Every structure is written in C-alpha cells, then in structure tokens.
Amino acid sequence: MQRNGFYALYLITILMVAVGQMTQTLYVPSIGHMAQEFLVQPGTLQAVMACYLIPYGLSQFIYGPLSDRIGRRPVLIIGMLVFLAGTLTIQLVPTLLALLVGSAIQGAGTGASGAMSRTVMRDRYSGAELNRANSLVSMGVIFSPLLAPVVGGWLTELVNWRAGYWFLFVFGALTTAAIMLWFAETLPPERRQPQRVSTAYRHVLGNARFQGNLVCLIATFAGLAAFEAAAGVIMGKDLHLDAHTISVLFVLPLPGYLFGAWLSARLSFRLSAGSLMRLGIAFLALGSGTILVPGLLGHVSAAALIAGATLYFIGSGILYPTATSCAIEPFPGQAGTAGAILGGMQNLGAGLVTLLAAALPMHGQLTLGVIMSLMVLLVMASFVWLRRGHAPHQQMA
C-alpha cells in the first residue's frame, strides 16, 4: 500500500463520509425538544431517519453508474451541493414537513459520498490490501457518529436543536471546499466505462458472491439503524433522561465499532473472510441477545441497551469492511455501480426497517431487541448461503 497516496485519499474519504454520518445521528439527543416544537410524540420523529436513509440509499443507484462514466470527483461535488440545499430547507422553513423533506434532500445529497466511499478504495487497491484499507476507513469514520450526538446534545442545551443543523451546514460547506481543492480523481478517463447502466447492473447483481455479501450488509446495517432510531426514544420516554445524558449514553457503544474495524484490519492477512465473518456474527448475536432478554422480562435498562449495542457494534465493525471488500473486489471496471448497489440497498433496507420501527408500538426495549435479533438471523442465513457453495470465489474457509 503506497502510504502517501493512501493517507491523502483516506483523509478526504473520512471527511466526506463524516457529513452523512453526522447528519444521521446529530439530531437524536434533540428528539424531545423537536417533538415539543412540532407538537408530536417523540416516536413520530423516528421518521426523520427513515426520510434521510431511503433517499440516501436510492440516490446511490444514480451516483454509482454516473461516476463510472464521468469520474468520482464531479459526482461528489454535485452530491455535496444537494446536501447543502437540503440543510437550508430545514432551517429556512420552520415546519415538520420541511424537516422531513429537507432530511430527504440531505440524504439524496450524501448518497454520493456513501457510494464513493466504497468505490475510491477499490479504484486503488485489491485483495487483503483492499480489506485493510476499508477497515482503516471504517476506523476513521467512526469518530463522526461518536461526536455527532455529543455536539447535537450540547448545542441543543446551549442554543436550540436548530443550531445542530447550522453546524451541519458549515461542516458540509467546508467539506465541499476540501473536495474541490484536494480530492484527486481516482478513475482516469481511460478506465471509465461507457456501457449501459442496465448492463452494468445485470453484471454486478448476477454475481452470487455479491448477492450473499449484500444481504449480510443490509441486515447488519439495518440492526444498527434500528438502534440509532429507537434508543433515543426509549431513553427519553421510558428512562426520562435529558438530552445531554442521552447524547453521552448514545455514543458509548460506538468505540465498539472502532475496535471491530481494528480487529478486521489486524487480522485481514491472517484469517480468511469466512473466519472474520463468523467472528463478527458471534458478536452480533451476543449484542442483540443482551438487548432482547431484558425486554422479554419487561425490563428497560440503560446498561443492557449500551452493553448490547457495544457488542453489536463490534460485530458490525468486523463484518462491514470484510463483506464490502468481498462484494466489490470482482468488479474493477464497475466499482461505482457495485458500490452504489451496496450503499443503496444497505441504506434502503435500513430506512425501511426504521419506518417499521416507527410504526410499531415501542414496548420498552423488547421491540428493539426483536428487530435486531431478526436482522442477526438474516445475516446468519446469508453466511450459510455463501458457505454452501453459491459464491465459489469467496475465501470462506
């Protein structure tokens, strides 16, 4: 791995992904204040995350193939400008509808960085180096969702919840400037693909290795999104905690993802993809069970929520770079399309799960535990499907 080139690409990738991740979680400690302003139940505001995630996922289906044709840099700039427009919509129109519409526009913008974060590393690396690069990026980007709820809770207590969205606007504007000034195109003109979008999608989606890893990623991320959408509501409604306390508790599990990504990077040259995935699944199961069991007994426990989420996040940190690398590696000529499908389907699935969570009665942490456990079962099923020979090129030993 060429260190100088990697570090420059690494820093820009982290910065552009951080915008989307902070947007996803910064408002969570402020849900109670937002509900009071809009005169709705706190659970209703779980729809904000769904409105963000669904366009975030769908837009990647456009950005990915487009980047295979015109390059990564112009696609990133377009996406960031759309994000800024969505953030201004939320700030300039003080209604619940504007919050939901603006969140959707934000998601449609940050979908560009979501797709490109998977793509630019594949433009440069392959094999174990690709897995290590993706693991290191995962380690770097975890600090943005770690900081976002703290920043959101602090700004809410100090000013109001809208101050968090002004923070996002400034951060997004600075990131846009950084991309314009310092992002070096990773897909030169001679490597760009003029093939039809439908042909590229058929080629990628027809690959069994891609299919199995895609299902794994969708289910893993959906479990994370369910926790992020519901945990703030549970802590506020059932445990009666204030925004600052929720923001602190909310970030405690996130270093688990950092540890999981570190393990993945550390072990990428020592263990097969199958061994890494088995390890990740074990942590997912332990985490979802830690949340589910007290819920079955009728208890709501901050300790169980945080401990369970931490274990789940460790498993996610292991699985995410491993499954992403295994899925995208066979497609050097269609990396943008493959990255778009991964990001799009992953976030679309997560958005649908959070919509379901918002529609279901939230019986303490039981509902959350059930949803997360179902996602773990789906991850297990996808791994078994890969093990049974449907993905012959995957190193599943």
Three-state secondary structure string covering the chain: CCHHHHHHHHHHHHHHHHHHHHHHHCCHHHHHHHHHHHCCCHHHHHHHHHHHHHHHHHHHHHHHHHHHHHCHHHHHHHHHHHHHHHHHHHHHCCCHHHHHHHHHHHHHHHHHHHHHHHHHHHHHCCHHHHHHHHHHHHHHHCHHHHHHHHHHHHHHHHCCCHHHHHHHHHHHHHHHHHHHHHCCCCCCHHHCCCCCHHHHHHHHHCCHHHHHHHHHHHHHHHHHHHHHHHHHHHHHHCCCCCHHHHHHHHHCCHHHHHHHHHHHHHHCCCCCHHHHHHHHHHHHHHHHHHHHHHHHCCCCCHHHHHHHHHHHHHHHHHHHHHHHHHHHCCCCCCHHHHHHHHHHHHHHHHHHHHHHHHHCCCCCCHHHHHHHHHHHHHHHHHHHHHHHHHCCCCCCC
pLDDT digits (tens, 9 = 90+) for 6-51: 677 888 899 998 999 899 888 888 888 888 888 888 777 878 888 8
The band of 397, judged by pLDDT with boundaries at 50, 70 and 90, is very low
Please report the pLDDT score of residue 50 as a whole number. Answer: 80
The band of 197, judged by pLDDT with boundaries at 50, 70 and 90, is confident
Please report the pLDDT score of residue 337 as a whole number. Answer: 86
The answer, yes or no, to whether residue 116 has pLDDT greater than 60, is yes
The answer, yes or no, to whether residue 151 has pLDDT greater than 80, is yes
pLDDT digits (tens, 9 = 90+) for 328-382: 888 877 888 888 888 778 777 777 777 777 777 767 788 889 999 999 999 999 9
Pick the more confident residue, 356 or 102: 102
Please report the pLDDT score of residue 43 as a whole number. Answer: 73
pLDDT digits (tens, 9 = 90+) for 152-177: 888 988 888 899 999 999 999 999 99
Pick the more confident residue, 12 or 191: 12
pLDDT digits (tens, 9 = 90+) for 198-237: 787 888 888 888 888 999 999 998 898 888 778 877 887 7
Please report the pLDDT score of residue 4 as a whole number. Answer: 53
Mean pLDDT computed over 40-66: 84
The answer, yes or no, to whether residue 394 has pLDDT greater than 50, is no
pLDDT digits (tens, 9 = 90+) for 280-311: 999 999 999 999 999 898 888 889 999 999 99
Please report the pLDDT score of residue 187 as a whole number. Answer: 84
Class of domain 3-186+195-390: mainly alpha
Mean pLDDT computed over 108-123: 88
Please report the pLDDT score of residue 3 as a whole number. Answer: 55
The answer, yes or no, to whether residue 195 has pLDDT greater than 90, is no
Average pLDDT across the chain, whole number: 85
Pick the more confident residue, 345 or 103: 103
Please report the pLDDT score of residue 390 as a whole number. Answer: 52
Angle between helices 254-267 and 127-141 (to 10 degrees): 160
The band of 393, judged by pLDDT with boundaries at 50, 70 and 90, is very low
Calpha distance 366→341 (Å, rounded): 32
